[in-house]
């Protein structure tokens, strides 16, 4: 009988929890991808959503490499299989210097010390740079496994809370 991997089990739990929030009307799922990279023999899953009336988005990214998958399936003695997890927020903003400082403070208050917050700004060539795209990655310092399944509702609560805090910084023009 087929035994699902840690990656597959976590993917199903994340997907179900996110779609539950969508059904409750708190968020709207706007994109989803489940990919297998045959060159690297890795898997990745991403689900992107925004608040029901919001513009900023959050994307949960789950990944597992060949070492994780092989170590788990072949039951290597010293293997520590698990999945990488990253949450990426995306919004357009004005006045990036001030806004990014405030956003960094907000994310450090919401997320645990065991996470790294990285903001990456971009704008179109020819624009004056006063309006730019901000991609904010919350990266966790360790792999996750099935023992963290009970943490997923809290993680999603933090993600929705972060979207609410980021929304005032989003600009259309």
CA dist 3 and 84 (Å) reads 20
Pairwise pLDDT comparison (1 vs 52), residue with the higher score: 52
- Has residue 1 got a pLDDT over 60? no
Which range scores top for mean pLDDT: 1-5, 15-19, 64-68, 167-171? 15-19
CA dist 167 and 50 (Å) reads 10
Give the pLDDT confidence of 57-110 residue by residue, as tens digits: 999 999 998 888 877 777 777 878 889 999 999 999 988 888 999 999 999 999
Q: Are 85 and 61 in contact (CB under 8 A)?
A: yes
Name 25's Cβ contacts closer than 8 Å, sequence gap at least 6: 52
**Which region, left, alpha or beta, applies to residue 29 given φ > 0 means left and ψ of -120 to 50 means alpha?**
beta
Give the pLDDT confidence of 111-154 residue by residue, as tens digits: 977 789 999 999 888 887 678 999 999 998 889 999 999 999 99
CA dist 88 and 135 (Å) reads 7
The closest alpha carbon to 163, from 73, 55, 62, 83, belongs to 55
Domain ranges of the chain: 6-169
Query: Residue 52 — pLDDT band, cuts 50, 70, 90?
Result: very high
What are the helix (H) ranges across 50-123?
A: 66-73, 96-110
State residue 18's pLDDT score: 98
Name 90's Cβ contacts closer than 8 Å, sequence gap at least 6: 56, 57, 58, 59, 133, 134, 135, 136
State residue 173's pLDDT score: 61
- Has residue 27 got a pLDDT over 80? yes
State residue 2's pLDDT score: 61
The DSSP 8-state label assigned to residue 76 in this structure reads -
């Amino acid at each position: 009988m087929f035994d699902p991997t840690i990656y597959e089990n976590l993917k199903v739990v994340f997907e179900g929890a996110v779609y539950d929030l969508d059904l409750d009307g708190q968020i709207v799922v706007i994109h989803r991808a489940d990919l297998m990279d045959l060159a690297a023999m890795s898997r990745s899953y991403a689900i992107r959503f925004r608040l029901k009336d919001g513009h900023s988005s959050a994307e949960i990214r789950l990944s597992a490499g060949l070492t994780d998958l092989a170590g788990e399936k072949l039951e290597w003695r010293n293997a520590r299989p698990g999945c990488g997890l990253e949450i990426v927020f995306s919004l357009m903003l004005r006045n990036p210097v001030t806004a990014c400082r405030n956003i960094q403070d907000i994310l450090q208050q919401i997320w645990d010390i065991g996470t790294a917050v990285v903001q990456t700004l971009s704008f179109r060539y020819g624009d004056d740079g006063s309006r730019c795209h901000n991609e904010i990655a919350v990266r966790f310092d360790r792999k996750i496994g099935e023992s963290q399944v009970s943490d997923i509702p809290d993680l999603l609560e933090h993600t929705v809370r972060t979207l609410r805090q980021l929304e005032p910084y989003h600009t259309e023009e």
